[in-house]
Amino acid sequence: MQQRDIRLLILIVIVAVVAIWVSLPTNPGIHIAIGETTISRDIRVHQGLDLQGGMQVLLEADLPENQTVDADAMAAARKIVENRVNGLGVTEPVVQGIGSRRILVELPGIEDPEQAVANLRETGLMEWIDTGAQYLPPGTVVKTDMATSADAGETVTDTEAVTDTETIYHTVLTGKNLRDARVEFDQTGLPVIAFELDDEGARIFAEHTANNIGRYLAIALDKTIISCPRIEGAIPEGRGQITGSFSVDEAKATVLQLRYGALPIPLKIIDTRAVGPTLGQESVQRSIRAGTIGLIVVLLFMLIYYRLPGLLADLALLIYATLTLALFKLIPVTLTLPGIAGFLLSVGMAVDANILIFERMREELRQGRTLGRAVESGFRRAWTSILDSNVSTWITCGILFIFGNSFGASMVKGFALTLALGVLVSMFTAVVVTRTFMRTTVAVAGDDLRRKTWLLGI
Amino acid sequence: MFTLIQKRRWYFIISALLIVPGLVAMIYSTVAIGAPLRLSIDFTGGSLLELSFQQPVVVEDVRQVFADAGLADTTVQTIGAEGNVIVCAKPMEVETKEAILRTLEERFGAVTELRFESVGPTVGRETTRSAGLAILATSGAILVFVAIAFRNVPNALRYGICAITKMLHDVLVLLGIASILGLLAGWEVDSLFLTAILTVVGFSVQDVIVVFDRIRENIGRRRGEEFETIVNRSLLETLHRSLATQLNAIFVMVALILFGGVTIRQFMAVMAIGMVVGTYSSLFFAVPLLVVWERGELRHAFARLGGRRAPAT
């Protein structure tokens, strides 16, 4: 046995142990704190919408088809949709631009689809909020006394009347009083946001700023703080500047949000898919059962048909299954029902490489080669077939992935991704892992094994 | 030596028997329902609602509720467990759906929504177009790949074209079966069906490649032997592998069909049929086709066909 094989064997054992640890359903994740730096990551299976239940909505710019959609406006619309989705309190929502005029929204585990859709469609609400002496960092979600349909239409008039422990801030002005906003630069060359209010807005603003110097007047879009400037002095003419430590790009983005507090582009829903949590959970359990049965049958087949090499291939196959699952958790790959099917299919295909190799080996052994030579030439001569056939699967997966991505069919995408990844891992386990096991066995058992034809399945 | 390839005429007849009924079904289907296959809402646009009622319901009553809400062309079918129905209708808004659900609840008692899909007509049209593009792209890519992989063999392009012809053969068989089942059992073709077809295409080319690989190797090692004999030898040498591999894939798929979720049952069934057909056509269609071509029988056959036709006109 060569030095290289021993090193490989050690590597395989390490990889297998790590993969088993990662795949364990009880894996606590990685939470390490070394001095200042902390690494905190949960390791778990990300379930797609069809498994955990939820809703997927495809929004499209509601403009005539021949009209080009302004990319900036679309980006602003996406940002606004994202804010609203975050406001729904869903874990791991997805908001993704698709093409030049579409936005894909995924809301896992949503319980009230009607409310969610109503929320997405609502025209964006911009507010100037009196936060008193408290600075609120951008991104904070607040409640205000300005009612929206999201609050089920109840108008909260008196902050004292609410017994909720959360603070409800007073809305001084809303976006309907904004006339214009743009990026300007101050004397030091730093970007600032200049805005201009209409007459009514100017009056309210003048009054409020005169009475609240030194306090904060935050700007919120859809109840999320985007900027929290301090009132430096009374602003009588309804013009003002928001200064802060932001970059030019951030300033531009904020201006877009200010200007387009209402969605810059009307959006319509062109595709909705929702799966109830019951159906999803049932599918997961059924797939796990089906997968286990399928795997056991494949393991038995290999063992009975190829005997000792089959047993080694079975070990490699088990490593394959755990390693792939570990990769799904680490990358992470969102598992959908077709994705699980793709993974299970790749289990069936993972043994293909071994079958190719073992058939070659049998041929060589029948021609009277020594065991060592037969093993080596079995692997070497099956290699081109393995590579060629896997490349053809990758080509198909690549096309499926692009196809699935082009219109947000995450089911198709999930299938292509798991299958392609599975085939890649299988090349490692079926070739490198099995070969190392075979070489080790040959080295340990020696030439005696050659005579035990029953064990070798010849 | 056991001769397989010499019986090639029979294999072509079997392939024809596999394809022709499907073609007839597709033509009939085009006349009867306006499309060669029964297309799902993924391609046509529309909405699908899967509901589970606590008490059994009368399908017609449920349909009436949808009709009252302005969705006249609605079909309602019972599926699986008692009280489970699938509703197909025109695209509908979430609000409309919720309103209908409330009405259903008032009339027929508690109801759970299992699944809801609504696809606009534009999305449907685009899906159909990308589906066609995906199949074309896959064929093109595989043709190029096979031609490159076999560039050292004389007439490399022939291997690629045989692989592609075999691919079309498999796709035609699957489409035919889908069309027949669409007519007989109401099977609908959705984007998952397309995924299954493309996967079968990718996998089934594997088999051809393995046999072709062996032919390539044997041509180099057995100079002077007749092409037909070489091919026959290669076929026999790879037969074990093809059967063992397919058997394993079939094990997994049968397990998924029997014990897996209902939503992917059709997907897996198409895939399983495709695998079996794919293996058959690798060994008994693509390879004989290559032999026929290499031996110049193809031109011969066409000439004979042309000769027979000539007097008839």
Domain presence at residue B83: yes
Top pLDDT among A376 and A255 is at: A376
Domain presence at residue B65: yes
Is A303's Cβ below 8 Å from some Cβ in B? Answer: no
Q: What percent of chain A is modeled with pLDDT above 90?
A: 8
DSSP alpha helix (H) spans, B38-151? 41-44, 59-68, 94-108, 121-149
Tokens of B308: 């027979």
What is the pLDDT tens value at each position of chain B, 313 positions in all?
567 777 888 889 999 999 999 999 999 999 988 888 888 888 888 888 888 888 888 888 888 888 888 887 888 888 777 788 888 888 888 888 888 888 888 888 888 888 888 888 877 787 778 778 887 888 888 888 888 888 877 788 888 888 888 988 998 999 999 999 999 988 888 878 887 887 787 777 778 888 888 888 888 888 888 888 889 989 888 888 888 888 888 888 888 888 877 777 888 888 899 989 998 998 899 999 998 888 887 677 666 665 554 444 3
**Shortest distance, CA A440 to any CA of chain B (angstroms):** 25
Domain extent at residue B137:
5-37+123-308
Considering the domain architecture, whether residues B111 and B209 belong to the same structural domain is answered as no
In Å, how far are A193, A398, B42, B123, B124 from B117, measured between CA atoms? 43, 26, 9, 12, 12
Assembly ipTM: 0.79
Considering the domain architecture, whether residues B140 and B115 belong to the same structural domain is answered as no
Give me the residue from B145, B201, B253 closest to A391, CB to CB.
B145
pLDDT at A161: 42
Whether residue A400 and residue B94 make contact (CB cut-off 8 A), yes or no, is: no
Q: Which residues does B194 contact at the CB level (< 8 Å), separation at least 6?
A: A412, B131, B134
Q: Are A216 and A227 in contact (CB under 8 A)?
A: no
Considering the domain architecture, whether residues B250 and B132 belong to the same structural domain is answered as yes
Is B103's Cβ below 8 Å from some Cβ in A? Answer: no
pLDDT at A108: 84
Considering the domain architecture, whether residues B203 and B304 belong to the same structural domain is answered as yes
Considering the domain architecture, whether residues B76 and B213 belong to the same structural domain is answered as no
Q: How many domains are there within chain B?
A: 2
- Residue ending a domain, choose from B119, B134, B151: B119
Is B299's Cβ below 8 Å from some Cβ in A? Answer: no
Give me the residue from A114, A279, A345 closest to B114, CB to CB.
A279
- Residue ending a domain, choose from B96, B119, B142: B119
Domain presence at residue B304: yes
Considering the domain architecture, whether residues B169 and B56 belong to the same structural domain is answered as no
Domain presence at residue B141: yes
Whether residue A388 and residue B149 make contact (CB cut-off 8 A), yes or no, is: yes
Q: In this structure, what are the phi and psi dihedrals at residue B115, rounded to the nearest 5 degrees?
A: -155, 140
Longest dimension (CA), chain B: 83
Cα four-point dihedral sign A46, A48, A54, A56: positive
Q: In the predicted model, what is the mean pLDDT of residues A284-304?
A: 89
Class of domain A54-272: alpha beta
The full set of domain ranges for chain A reads: 3-31+276-456, 54-272
Query: Which pLDDT tens digit goes with each residue over A80-123?
Result: 788 777 766 777 788 888 878 888 888 887 777 777 777 776 65
> Would you tell me how many other CB atoms lie within 10 Å of the CB of residue B247?
17
Q: What percent of chain A is modeled with pLDDT above 70?
A: 86
Compute the distance between CA of residue B146 and CA of residue B157 in angstroms, rounded to an integer: 8
Which CATH architecture group holds A3-31+276-456?
A: Up-down Bundle (1.20)
Lowest mean pLDDT among A202-211, A255-264, B35-44, B116-125: A255-264
Compute the distance between CA of residue B235 and CA of residue A378 in angstroms, rounded to an integer: 18
Considering the domain architecture, whether residues B71 and B154 belong to the same structural domain is answered as no
Nearest alpha carbon to residue B180 among B67, B68, B21, B17: B21
CATH code (residue B232): 1.20.1640.10
pLDDT at B238: 87
- Residue ending a domain, choose from B119, B141, B165: B119
**Shortest distance, CA B293 to any CA of chain A (angstroms):** 23
Report the residue of B127, B139, B200, B203 to disrupt the A interface, i.e. the one with the largest count of A CBs within 10 Å.
B203
Considering the domain architecture, whether residues B104 and B171 belong to the same structural domain is answered as no
Considering the domain architecture, whether residues B230 and B246 belong to the same structural domain is answered as yes
Task: Give pTM, 2 decimals.
Answer: 0.73
pLDDT of A149 > 60? The answer is: no
* Pairing outcome for strands A334-335 and A46-47: parallel
In Å, how far are A135, A155, A176, B151, B159 from B154, measured between CA atoms? 77, 82, 75, 8, 10
pLDDT of A299 > 90? The answer is: yes
Lowest mean pLDDT among A210-214, A298-302, B179-183: A210-214
Considering the domain architecture, whether residues B228 and B284 belong to the same structural domain is answered as yes
pLDDT at B285: 92
Write out residues 264-293 of B within 8 Å (CB-CB) of A: 264, 267-268, 271
Q: In this structure, what are the phi and psi dihedrals at residue B38, rounded to the nearest 5 degrees?
A: -80, 105
Q: Residue B10 burial by CB count (10 A; 0-12/13-18/19+): exposed, middle or buried?
A: exposed
Considering the domain architecture, whether residues B16 and B91 belong to the same structural domain is answered as no
Compute the distance between CA of residue A115 and CA of residue A107 in angstroms, rounded to an integer: 12
Compute the distance between CA of residue B32 and CA of residue B28 in angstroms, rounded to an integer: 6
Domain presence at residue B313: no
Write out residues 13-32 of B within 8 Å (CB-CB) of A: none
Considering the domain architecture, whether residues B213 and B72 belong to the same structural domain is answered as no
Nearest alpha carbon to residue A144 among A255, A262, A225: A225
pLDDT at A148: 45
Top pLDDT among B194 and A17 is at: A17
Is B136's Cβ below 8 Å from some Cβ in A? Answer: no
Is A291's Cβ below 8 Å from some Cβ in B? Answer: yes
pLDDT at B22: 93
Domain presence at residue B169: yes
Domain presence at residue B184: yes
